[in-house]
Structure 1
Amino acid sequence: MSVSLPPFADGVNLNLDELLYYKQHTVHWLPPAKSLWSQQLGQHQSRQLGRGMDFSEVRQYQAGDDVRSIDWRVTARTGKVHTKLFTEEKERPVYIYLDLSSSMNFGSTLMLKSVLAAHFTALVAWLAAKGKDRVGAIVDTGEALFECKATASSRGVLHLLNLITQHHDYRRNVTTQQNFKPTLETLRRLCPKGSEILMISDFSRLTEQDRDRLAHLRVHNSVRLIHVHDPLEQGMTQYRGVEQVTSQNRSLWLDFSSSRARDAMKAHFKRSTDELEHFAQQHGMTFLSLSNDRPLLSQLTRS
């Protein structure tokens, strides 16, 4: 089955029209529908982006209370019907980290990883704006960080999308790149406690020290990891030749005609991805994996 690119996209370059396209699709994840996250993560409970309702207290049931809010555990323990009270959650700003470094400028099939990451950023930014939430961002080229001030307006989203198109460069090939330390220190400085932080990356530059910093950031904030990958990283390809592959630290030749070599790539990918997902679960972070061989919306459940 053939897979087509989204409207206005060529899979390599980025333009404003292809990011504006996602504005019309936010309706699928706005209340009263399920949140984007709960639909992707099955039965696991997850907040909407931005404001919602926070638990306040439990008190004895009074006439007119919503029976759906009855706390059955307390009711069973006390022998008297009790209900939960909720208050409106305070402002919960959304901060997006978008990785546009060299490792993201790769795509073996439909589009570059950086393009898919930008599409997801656009969808989340439009969702936040529709929900009247402030959204800010950090765009990382691997050489420099570009900050986008948090605002609660469509104009702020447009500024962010223009920033992304300005700094997206598929020709960028930096051999020496920063780890995540500057990014995480910047997020810690920018984000007030209680922020919603989304990190969109392939996480190839994430070190053990970075994981410690990320876990510390999670103490006072909600953190979501969106892992973007390419099928070739799993050894999935129809190509059966020999190709030179260069990373930040080394260069080697891979024989894609060898099933052993492809299986080794698949095992390495699974091991590293499982480790990242386990780390996320261990620290109460949402983990979502997206592949750049399919359009974004086809990978997100909307029903």
Structure 2
Amino acid sequence: MSVTLSPFADGVNLNLDELLYYKQHTVHWLPPAKSIWAQQLGQHQSRQLGRGMDFSEVRQYQAGDDVRSIDWRVTARTGKVHTKLFTEEKERPVYLYIDLSSSMNFGSALMLKSVMAAHFSALVAWLSAKGKDRVGAIVDTGNALFECKATASSRGVLHLLNLVTSHHDFQRNVTTQQNFDGALDAIHRLCPKGSEIIFISDFSRLTQQDKERLSHIRVHNSVRLVHIYDPLEQGMTQYRGVEQVTTQTRSLWLDFSSARARSAMKSHFKKNTEQLEAFTQQHGMTFLSLSNDRPLLSQLSRS
């Protein structure tokens, strides 16, 4: 089965037209459609971006209460029927952390990981604007941060996407890498409590200290992690030669003709991904994983 890129895209360079393309596809996830987050193994019951109903409290059932809101756990524990109360959700600004660092500027298949990150950012930004939510971003090139304040207009989304495109190709050859500290500081400063914060990255620079800070951010905000990966990181490739691979801290030669080497890559990738997903579940975050070997829309459920 042939796999093709979305219109205007070449998988390496980034332009505004390929990000404008996603504006027309927001209809698939606008209310009352299913959230783009709800497809992941059913482990998270997440609201769609935008306003809805927030849980308020549990109290004893009263005549006229909606029976669909009965809290059966509390009812069983107390022996008396209790119901959940909800209040209207206040406006929730959406902030995107978009990783364009050197590890994201890699792709062995259809597109660079950074291009996939930009495509997903565009879809969420347009979806937020359609839902009348303010959306902003922090673009991280690995050695510099660029901020876009949250606005609720199409013009604001265009500014955000222009910021992404302008720093995507310009930073292609930058190898100096900072950790997530600066980005997390910026998020703490920019995002008011109650924000929807979406981290889009391969998380190769994420440390244990960063995870602790993320868990603190989660106390007052909704946090989602979107993991972008390349099949080569799993040892999945038809190439059977020897290549040099360089990370932030070291350089090594990998023999892709060795089944053992490919299996070791797969095991390493699986372990890291499972640890990241377990961390998100432990702290009530949403985890979404996207591969750069398929177009974005083919990986998102529209049902």
TM-score bucket (shorter structure): over 0.9
Q: Secondary structure at the match of 1:17?
A: helix
* Equivalent residue letter for 1:150: A
The answer on whether the counterparts of 1:59 and 1:85 sit within 8 Å (CA) in structure 2 is no
* Equivalent residue letter for 2:25: H
Give the superposition deviation at 1:72.
4.6
Q: Which moved more, 1:154-163 or 1:85-94?
A: 85-94
Give the superposition deviation at 1:32.
1.0
The answer on whether the counterparts of 2:113 and 2:229 sit within 8 Å (CA) in structure 1 is yes
Instruction: Say whether residues 1:61 and 2:57 are aligned partners.
Output: no
Give the superposition deviation at 1:6.
0.8
Give the superposition deviation at 1:177.
0.7
The answer on whether the counterparts of 2:70 and 2:83 sit within 8 Å (CA) in structure 1 is yes
Give the superposition deviation at 1:59.
5.3
Q: Which moved more, 1:281-290 or 1:291-300?
A: 281-290
* Equivalent residue letter for 1:264: A
Aligned partners of 1:120 and 1:252: how far apart in 2?
32
The answer on whether the counterparts of 1:55 and 1:85 sit within 8 Å (CA) in structure 2 is yes
The answer on whether the counterparts of 2:69 and 2:84 sit within 8 Å (CA) in structure 1 is yes
* Equivalent residue letter for 2:122: A
Given the two structures, how large is their TM-score scaled by the length of structure 2?
0.94
1:88-99 correspondence to structure 2 within 5 Å: 88-99=88-99
Give the superposition deviation at 1:218.
1.3
Aligned partners of 1:61 and 1:270: how far apart in 2?
49
Aligned residues: 302
Q: Secondary structure at the match of 1:136?
A: strand
Give the superposition deviation at 1:40.
3.2
Equivalent in the alignment of 2:178? 178
Instruction: Say whether residues 1:210 and 2:183 are aligned partners.
Output: no
Give the superposition deviation at 1:248.
1.1
Equivalent in the alignment of 2:153? 153
* Equivalent residue letter for 2:10: D
Equivalent in the alignment of 1:85? 85
Equivalent in the alignment of 1:292? 292
Equivalent in the alignment of 2:241? 241
Equivalent in the alignment of 1:129? 129
Give the superposition deviation at 1:82.
5.4
1:38-53 correspondence to structure 2 within 5 Å: 38-42=38-42, 44-53=44-53
The answer on whether the counterparts of 2:97 and 2:200 sit within 8 Å (CA) in structure 1 is yes
* Equivalent residue letter for 2:63: Q
Give the superposition deviation at 1:171.
6.4
The answer on whether the counterparts of 2:227 and 2:288 sit within 8 Å (CA) in structure 1 is yes
Give the superposition deviation at 1:104.
0.4
Give the superposition deviation at 1:42.
2.3
Q: Deviations over 1:52-110 (max 9, x none)?
A: 101334354334x5443344556667777654432211111111000001110000010
Given the two structures, how large is their TM-score scaled by the length of structure 1?
0.94
Q: Secondary structure at the match of 2:38?
A: helix
* Structure 1 gap segments, 5+ residues each: none
The answer on whether the counterparts of 2:44 and 2:286 sit within 8 Å (CA) in structure 1 is no
Equivalent in the alignment of 1:102? 102
The answer on whether the counterparts of 2:96 and 2:138 sit within 8 Å (CA) in structure 1 is yes
Aligned partners of 2:81 and 2:256: how far apart in 1?
65
Aligned partners of 1:78 and 1:194: how far apart in 2?
32
* Equivalent residue letter for 2:243: E
Aligned partners of 2:76 and 2:234: how far apart in 1?
51
Going from structure 1 to structure 2, the CA distance change for 1:15 and 1:40 (only over 3 Å counts) comes to: same
1:4-83 correspondence to structure 2 within 5 Å: 4-42=4-42, 44-57=44-57, 58=59, 60-63=61-64, 65-72=65-72, 83=83
Equivalent in the alignment of 2:282? 282
Q: Deviations over 1:139-162 (max 9, x none)?
A: 011111000010011111111011
Aligned partners of 1:68 and 1:129: how far apart in 2?
31
Equivalent in the alignment of 1:198? 198
Equivalent in the alignment of 1:117? 117
Aligned partners of 2:184 and 2:106: how far apart in 1?
24
**CA RMSD, aligned part only?**
1.8
Aligned partners of 2:52 and 2:127: how far apart in 1?
14
* Equivalent residue letter for 2:26: T
Q: Secondary structure at the match of 1:40?
A: coil
Q: Which moved more, 1:172-181 or 1:80-89?
A: 80-89
Q: Deviations over 1:118-150 (max 9, x none)?
A: 000001111111111111100011111000010
Aligned partners of 2:176 and 2:63: how far apart in 1?
64
Q: Secondary structure at the match of 1:38?
A: coil
* Structure 2 gap segments, 5+ residues each: none
